[in-house]
Amino acid sequence: MTEPFSPQPLVYFFGQGRADGTSAMKDVLGGKGAGLAEMTNLGIAVPPGFTISATVCHTYLDTHGFPPRLRTQVERALERLEAATAKEFGGEETPLLVSVRSGAAVSMPGMMETILNLGLNDRTVEGLAARSGNPAFAWDCYRRFLQMYASVVFDLPKAPFEAMLEEARHAHGAAREIDLPVPTLKSLVARFKAHVTDQIKRPFPEDPMEQLWGAIAAVFESWNTRRAIDYRRLHEIPDDMGTAVSIVTMVYGNLGDTSGTGVAFSRNPSTGERMLFGEFLSNAQGEDVVSGARTPEPITALRDKMPGVYQEMERMARTLERHFRDVQDMEFTVEDGRLYMLQTRRAQRTGQAAFRIACDMVDEEAISEEEAVARIPPQALEQLLHPTIDPSERLDQLTVGLPASPGAASGVVVFDSDTAERAARAGEAVILVRRETSPEDFHGMVAAKAILTARGGMTSHAAVVARGMGKPCVAGAQDLDVDEAAGVIRANGREVKGGDWITLDGSTGAVCIGRAKLLAPEMTPQYTRLMGWADRIRPMKVRVNADTPADAHRGRDFGAEGIGLCRTEHMFFEGDRLFAMREMILAENLEERQRALARLLPMQRGDFESIFRAMEGFPVTIRLLDPPLHEFLPKDDGEMAALANEMHKPLEHVRHVVDSLHEANPMLGLRGCRLGIMYPEITAMQARAIFEAACTVAARKGRVMPEVMVPLVATMVEFRRQALLVRQVAEAVFQERQLTVPYLIGTMIELPRAAITADEIAREAQFFSFGTNDLTQTTWGLSRDDAGKFLPHYIESGIVAADPFQVLDQVGVGKLIKMACELGRGTRADLKLGICGEHGGEPSSIAFCETLKMNYVSCSPFRVPIARLSAAQAALAARGTVDRTKATV
Amino acid sequence: MTEPFSPQPLVYFFGQGRADGTSAMKDVLGGKGAGLAEMTNLGIAVPPGFTISATVCHTYLDTHGFPPRLRTQVERALERLEAATAKEFGGEETPLLVSVRSGAAVSMPGMMETILNLGLNDRTVEGLAARSGNPAFAWDCYRRFLQMYASVVFDLPKAPFEAMLEEARHAHGAAREIDLPVPTLKSLVARFKAHVTDQIKRPFPEDPMEQLWGAIAAVFESWNTRRAIDYRRLHEIPDDMGTAVSIVTMVYGNLGDTSGTGVAFSRNPSTGERMLFGEFLSNAQGEDVVSGARTPEPITALRDKMPGVYQEMERMARTLERHFRDVQDMEFTVEDGRLYMLQTRRAQRTGQAAFRIACDMVDEEAISEEEAVARIPPQALEQLLHPTIDPSERLDQLTVGLPASPGAASGVVVFDSDTAERAARAGEAVILVRRETSPEDFHGMVAAKAILTARGGMTSHAAVVARGMGKPCVAGAQDLDVDEAAGVIRANGREVKGGDWITLDGSTGAVCIGRAKLLAPEMTPQYTRLMGWADRIRPMKVRVNADTPADAHRGRDFGAEGIGLCRTEHMFFEGDRLFAMREMILAENLEERQRALARLLPMQRGDFESIFRAMEGFPVTIRLLDPPLHEFLPKDDGEMAALANEMHKPLEHVRHVVDSLHEANPMLGLRGCRLGIMYPEITAMQARAIFEAACTVAARKGRVMPEVMVPLVATMVEFRRQALLVRQVAEAVFQERQLTVPYLIGTMIELPRAAITADEIAREAQFFSFGTNDLTQTTWGLSRDDAGKFLPHYIESGIVAADPFQVLDQVGVGKLIKMACELGRGTRADLKLGICGEHGGEPSSIAFCETLKMNYVSCSPFRVPIARLSAAQAALAARGTVDRTKATV
């Protein structure tokens, strides 16, 4: 790229109540520069300065030089700055000192460079000493400047400087550099300069202008460091954005007791309470707060010490909040009793605070209800709905697995379900740790606070059951070696014994050693109020994925408007049912199979009845048996022998069945509707259980709306045959009961072929529910259970932007979904469309569903509120009225 | 459906040199009726008759009655028939007797009904006896009529009639019924009638008109028998086609020595030689030929007995062949020295004959070269290219597996590779029978005549290796229990011991007990000539899937124009290489891995060199390592221990690696380009081997055109990263060798996501090769290795029309392919497109590729000729000039 001819200025001045820029010019000025300009325009006291446009960044990087226009414009800005401050850049009497900071349009914390006190040299330092009357302060500033400049501009290691400082502090027994005697500080400055000269083979630049250009160049170059590039990749920040450079007059909080520095929030970011909140450190600079050497006081201390300053701060906070229409997080410095704002930005806040602030601001008529809904980050709900680890805890992370079920828990490591049950009964908090769980572990999972597995993915047994129970679960922690025999787990060269405490964060997948303080979830009145607004806004319904009556109730409590996915197989994984299921699988002929099915029928019917009751008045989508049958059978010899014994079958037979059901790729094998086609009697039993239960509830005046879902359909004919069977059973039951219940039959679209031939399938199916888990697996050719070996690397190295199992891949999978919606509706205009994969609870995926005008999304119970909120936000974004990302600074 | 008002006649007369219908009216007249009409129009002597339109069939089936118009038209046709024959239907002196036959537009052999001698009753039989002067003949005709009518119209079982006949023959020591004394025949007729009356509770219809309408109704009803419906489903014949009914004057070949019956071909259907060919049975009826009671003479016998008739037959054969422009298969009867043609149709022929006939007819200027190419059925090539089981053999089928590699072989059952090798060395023909094969079985497969496995699909190790070797293989015979310990195989309750003979047909999947006579393959000069024409016609290139220099040579011999798929992993499955590969996989760090790769490099380079030389002047597509690494590792403990020992690694380590590479769904796991991304050093080694080999060949003036193919790409970025690496290696090698070789880098499109995002991928990739095996697996969510449990049922019960792994699923998978072609070419107009799955050798799939204007198809060596022919036929069909299905009767 060559320098573009541009009439746009390259430098933007701010000061004396007027700025060339505004907050709308983030692309040019960076977030920081735009904030400074805007505050200046608002009449807030900001130290004057100027910002070099981010557009210069690439010119510099491409040409390794500055555009000629820039020199002139910087010089002119410096002149204005001298005029505004009545100081002189490089002047010996009243030296003008500046900070040089980078700042891109998007915040890149920790990635950006800062140099303070630029303009100091052997002459100006004397002027600063004289003017401030505090030579130690002046020489300490000089010392700091040299250190920062050496690091940022000359890229010298920090350690030698630290060592010299340490030596000096040690020699004088001083805790802080500023407490050192002036001669020592002077000699440190001399030693620093000598060290730099030695390293860069030329003297340290004494000329402030040379210092300034060196600093500007260094900021631009910092854009292309490995670290910055990686950060941008990780956060999907475009490389061509570039960074601006802000040059701001230095103000000092360390000029005595009428000076100080701090951070203030316009409201309490933890609770949302409307009051100035923050910290203040008297006679100090920003670095002192960060370094932790001194403990700051609450901001209220300022009220007592400098009531005028405090009032001014309150005024500024109100002004900024009103202007930016959101809570502000402000950095400030008090120099000699005078308050300066150095930065303002949208305040981060807890989930609780987010809701309270949003509701309060609606009551204050600062924002509309829509805006209130639009600006709650869906993640804020996680904090309201699950225990979280206290952010103040220092965690000792052992490893990371998949965030399989959200929430945090601490407990002692237990390796088997019986022990877990015993310990839990004895009042102990336990975490069940298994290589992988199986149906036999159910009671252990009930007993445990949380579950950790080394194998299996987001849809493994552990993950699905835990999500259903609402318990935290970290699954598929690949690094984890679960050595049950030795009674230890190992990862990354470390070991944790059974009985030792660990803490899991099921929202991030973190596995930590030790016990952590947890914050309890809390649903506030503001939550209820704001979610009510959200519900009024969204056209899409939100349903819950619920396999049990308990799940169904939980879903209703969270506001679900029906069940989008009831996986009937999970009903078979417990006690009696598992036994009857195994009888069915081990049956040697149709008659035996039907006998076992007859035993399963009343159990299923009972479950469906309870579920229909729990969801009265709402639709309930019931999926016919889906998983490969071998999932119900034991895997090891001992369990097979026990089963054979219990079932009065020869072990050989059990082994033969287990063996014959073995599949090379179970994900792509005999499952879904293929089971129902091979064994129509299973489908018939399930249909009978559904319609008998529906009739029973309907007979007592309950409103039931069953939607029967045929899984894993690849061809229209498969669907048609299963649907025919279901309809025949429905008719038979209605005849027997002398009662008719309205129902739908539809299918899960979870294979690419189903999506591609959706026009054909819609001829027969009354609804489509997108099973995005399987659809992602087949579209990508990626087994969720096996992706752990390489998908993390794919994400880290930027091959994929996000885990497609968590965030819907709109370009690939989404295109198939779109195609299926269009083809399906083309055939059947009133085709009901929904999504029931994990993505049904993920905000960006929900937004995608909204663009396709789906009828509903369905997700696990604890994600229902997130889905309600996201669906409302998606609708607002689609209307174009409010966009959360634009609503705030 | 109700009877449509239609001006079209319902009955079509033929006789006296003129017919109402023509051969173009198959839909109305059925194949048989159309043939009779056309022959009549050609002046061929055909017994006169008439055909009832197939459109009546559904009217009858829907209303259970005949349209009123029909009665009138049938009566009128009968009057014309009486006039033409000078006989009277139901007349006592010169009774007109007719046959009633069904006949649909498509031939349904064995499915259709026939009644002969209709019109006989207690009175007309006397007239027939008097007129023929042969009472035994007349009464035997009557007896036959009663039997057929009872079976077809009254649906009575055949056994009681057979028993009465058998009793009579036995009593008189007569071999044939006609040899029985007339009184016995008369009493048989009486007993037959009594039996029918007894069964149907009313007398046998004496009125010929009543007989006729009963017969017509029965023919229509036969359309909806279970058997006929199943047959139609199996052969994809539409249900609404319906059958016509042909009513034809009876002629008799059993009126003495100047009568007879037979079948004649206008050319020899085995060799194609231009001469009348067939069989003749003097003084006989068609049934006598079929029953096998008497042995017919060659048709040349007719020349001696009735030279006039023979000359007339030659004339008719020439006329029909010239008219229908293809070899005819004719049924005829000579009645009292007069020749009648009863049917003519396109003659079935052997592969050899098909080529010879086609070439001869071009030389005779009867058809064009294009037509010659269009009318060779691709299956004909199978016979030319592989040993086949002599069609005269009676086979004792044990079970059926997947037709994994074509051709037939007989040999003794051997259970392990060492024994196979020993026995083969001793000159024995062996068939290697394994549950599944592994790389360790390679030498056994080399030694065996054919391979049989109980597990694994069409892409299993056994199948792929066997196809590469051109050996017959039946894989995945699900019913087969391979009990190596007991030294037997079992299936369907039967047992075959090791050392016993079996015969495999790899083209059908049949496994038969015993040794069968095989026919050797033979490539004739006509084959070469016709394939030359095909090559000139087709725009698509045909390449071979070849992994070894031997395969490459074989492919060239079969006419391949390059390699479309060179699977590099197959190079690693032998001896030394397998060891080095395992070293690479078991490497504990990058250095160890690179050391092992360095050992693999010269081996790969050597293979590539030989392959490039074998394919000089043609492109060679080399696929980078694709399969999951665990495929290279041993599975059982013994082998692991041996490997650990050999490799000087602890067994624990081997076990750990094997364990850690275990995948729940290997098809969807760490394989394809995912390997190359996780281990770039593997890609780098392979690229180096490719380009070093290419440079070596190019340096000696050889023309090499490597095309590097990145497998299993789901996202453009995966491809871009691998392509970048390959390009870097290529540049490095070119620099080192001071030589540049032109090459392409492209990808296999084998995941739905790649197809959907083909526009993005084409930005980087220079060619697409459709891996339709994997693309079918992922699009359908169907593992080829596991589909054996239900796919056969899907096919049998009509859920799918054909196995999508054998015949490309154009509706589903094909739509993705089409989308990918369009998106890809939209981005890059000169994108090279090809297909390299199993479908690349399947005719209908090749035709689909032609519609997409692909650049080439690629298939296994032995399918190359089939692909060459099919590609030419597809091009002809696309041009609309010639269509094989329409070119012939």
pLDDT digits (tens, 9 = 90+) for A250-278: 999 988 889 999 989 999 988 899 999 98
pLDDT at A889 exceeding the cut of 60: no
Q: Which of A674, A717, A752 sits opposite B790 (nearest CB)?
A: A674
pLDDT at B177: 77
Q: Which of A436, A438, A671, A778 to mutate to test the interface with B (most CBs of B within 10 A)?
A: A778
Distance of alpha carbon A220 from alpha carbon A244, whole angstroms: 8
Which chain B positions have a beta carbon within 8 Å of A781's beta carbon?
667-668, 672, 712, 714, 750-753, 774, 778
Active-site residue identified among B57, B512, B673, B836: B836
Q: Which residue has the tokens 């850049």?
A: A89
Q: How far is B664 from chain A (nearest CA, A)?
A: 6
pLDDT at B856: 98
Residues A810, A812, A813, A814: what is their CA dihedral angle, to the nearest 10 degrees?
A: 40
Distance of alpha carbon B444 from alpha carbon B727, whole angstroms: 40
Element of type H or E holding A401: none
- SS3 at position A331: strand
Put simply, whether A801 touches B (Cβ < 8 Å) is no
Q: How far is A57 from chain B (nearest CA, A)?
A: 27
pLDDT at A106: 83
Which has the minimum average pLDDT: A123-132, B453-462, B731-740? B453-462
pLDDT at A697 exceeding the cut of 80: yes
Neighbours of B469 (CB within 10 A): 20
DSSP of B646-715 = HHT--HHHHHHHHHHT--SSGGGSS-THHHHHH-HHHHHHHHHHHHHHHHHHHHTT---EEEEEE-S--S
Q: What 3 state SS string does A65-111 have?
A: CCCHHHHHHHHHHHHHHHHHHCCECCCCCCECCEEEEEECCCCCCCC
pLDDT bin (cut points 50, 70, 90) of residue B691 is: very high
Q: Which of B668, B782, B799 sits opposite A782 (nearest CB)?
A: B668
Q: How far is B558 from chain A (nearest CA, A)?
A: 34
pLDDT at B289 exceeding the cut of 70: no
Which residue of A lies nearest to B778 if distances are taken between CA atoms? Answer: A778
Angle at B217 between CA B212 and CA B218, to 5 degrees: 95
Q: Which of B666, B721, B779 sits opposite A665 (nearest CB)?
A: B666
- B765-770: average pLDDT: 98
pLDDT bin (cut points 50, 70, 90) of residue B178 is: confident
Q: Around B224, how many Cα atoms within 13 Å sit in the side-chain half-sphere?
A: 11
CA distances from A197 to A194, A206, B603 (A): 5, 12, 57
Which chain B positions have a beta carbon within 8 Å of A756's beta carbon?
779, 811-812, 815-816
pLDDT at A293: 58
Q: How far is B609 from chain A (nearest CA, A)?
A: 33
Q: Which of A668, A815, A816 sits opposite B783 (nearest CB)?
A: A668
* B461 included as an active-site residue: yes
Put simply, whether A793 touches B (Cβ < 8 Å) is yes
Q: Around A690, how many Cα atoms within 13 Å sit in the side-chain half-sphere?
A: 32
CA distances from B451 to B12, B418, B518, B729 (A): 56, 14, 17, 40
What tokens does B397 get? 């089928």
pLDDT at A517 exceeding the cut of 50: yes
pLDDT in tens, A785-840: 889 889 988 988 889 988 999 899 999 999 999 999 999 999 999 999 999 988 99
Per-residue burial over B44-65, b = 16 or more CB atoms within 10 Å of its CB, e = otherwise: bbbbbbbbbbbbbbbbbeeeee
Question: Angle A637-647/A575-586 helices, nearest 10 degrees?
Answer: 90
Which residue of B lies nearest to A674 if distances are taken between CA atoms? Answer: B790
pLDDT at B109 exceeding the cut of 70: no
DSSP of A706-755 = EEEEE-S--SHHHHHHHHHHHHHHHHHHHHHHT-----EEEEEE-SHHHH
pLDDT at A286 exceeding the cut of 80: no
Contact B766/B744 with Cβ under 8 angstroms? yes
Q: Which residue has the tokens 């490459």?
A: B552
Which residue of B lies nearest to A714 if distances are taken between CA atoms? Answer: B780
Active-site residue identified among A58, A141, A359, A461: A461
Q: Which of A458, A665, A677, A793 to mutate to test the interface with B (most CBs of B within 10 A)?
A: A665
Contact B705/B619 with Cβ under 8 angstroms? yes
Distance of alpha carbon B40 from alpha carbon B383, whole angstroms: 36
pLDDT in tens, B210-255: 999 999 999 999 898 877 887 787 677 888 889 999 999 999 998 8
pLDDT in tens, B651-687: 988 998 898 898 989 999 999 999 999 999 999 999 9
Residues within 8 A of B (CB atoms), A 74-113 only: none
pLDDT in tens, A55-98: 999 899 888 899 989 999 999 999 999 999 999 999 999 999 99
Q: Which of A670, A714, A786 sits opposite B668 (nearest CB)?
A: A786
pLDDT bin (cut points 50, 70, 90) of residue A7 is: low
pLDDT at A229: 82
B824 vs A631, higher pLDDT: B824
Note whether B789 contacts A678, CB cutoff 8 Å: yes
Distance of alpha carbon A699 from alpha carbon A689, whole angstroms: 15
pLDDT in tens, A339-374: 999 988 888 887 888 999 999 999 999 999 999 999
Q: Which residue has the tokens 């969801």?
A: A615
Average pLDDT, chain B: 90
Put simply, whether A663 touches B (Cβ < 8 Å) is yes
pLDDT at B456 exceeding the cut of 90: no
* B57 included as an active-site residue: no
DSSP state of B396: E
Which residue of A lies nearest to B776 if distances are taken between CA atoms? Answer: A753
Distance of alpha carbon B17 from alpha carbon A575, whole angstroms: 83
Burial class (CB in 10 A: 0-12, 13-18, 19+), A479: middle
Cα radius of gyration (chain A): 33
Contact A84/A48 with Cβ under 8 angstroms? yes
Residues within 8 A of A (CB atoms), B 139-198 only: none
pLDDT at B882: 58
Q: How many CB pairs under 8 A join A and B?
A: 163
Nearest to A283 by CA among A358, A176, A190, A181: A176
Distance of alpha carbon A338 from alpha carbon A704, whole angstroms: 70
For chain B, give the percent of residues with pLDDT over 70: 96
pLDDT at A885 exceeding the cut of 70: no
A830 vs B5, higher pLDDT: A830
pLDDT at B467 exceeding the cut of 80: no
Q: Which of B663, B799, B810, B813 to mutate to test the interface with A (most CBs of A within 10 A)?
A: B799
Which chain A positions have a beta carbon within 8 Å of B779's beta carbon?
751-753, 756, 778
Which residue of B lies nearest to A716 if distances are taken between CA atoms? Answer: B799
What single letter denotes the amino acid at residue B75? E
pLDDT bin (cut points 50, 70, 90) of residue B149 is: very high
- Reported for B151-159, long-range contacts at CB under 8 A and 24+ positions apart, including other chains, are B152/B113, B152/B114, B152/B115, B152/B215, B152/B218, B152/B219, B152/B222, B153/B115, B153/B214, B153/B215, B153/B217, B153/B218, B154/B196, B154/B199, B154/B200, B156/B195, B156/B196, B156/B199, B156/B200
What tokens does B812 get? 């589903």
pLDDT bin (cut points 50, 70, 90) of residue A715 is: very high
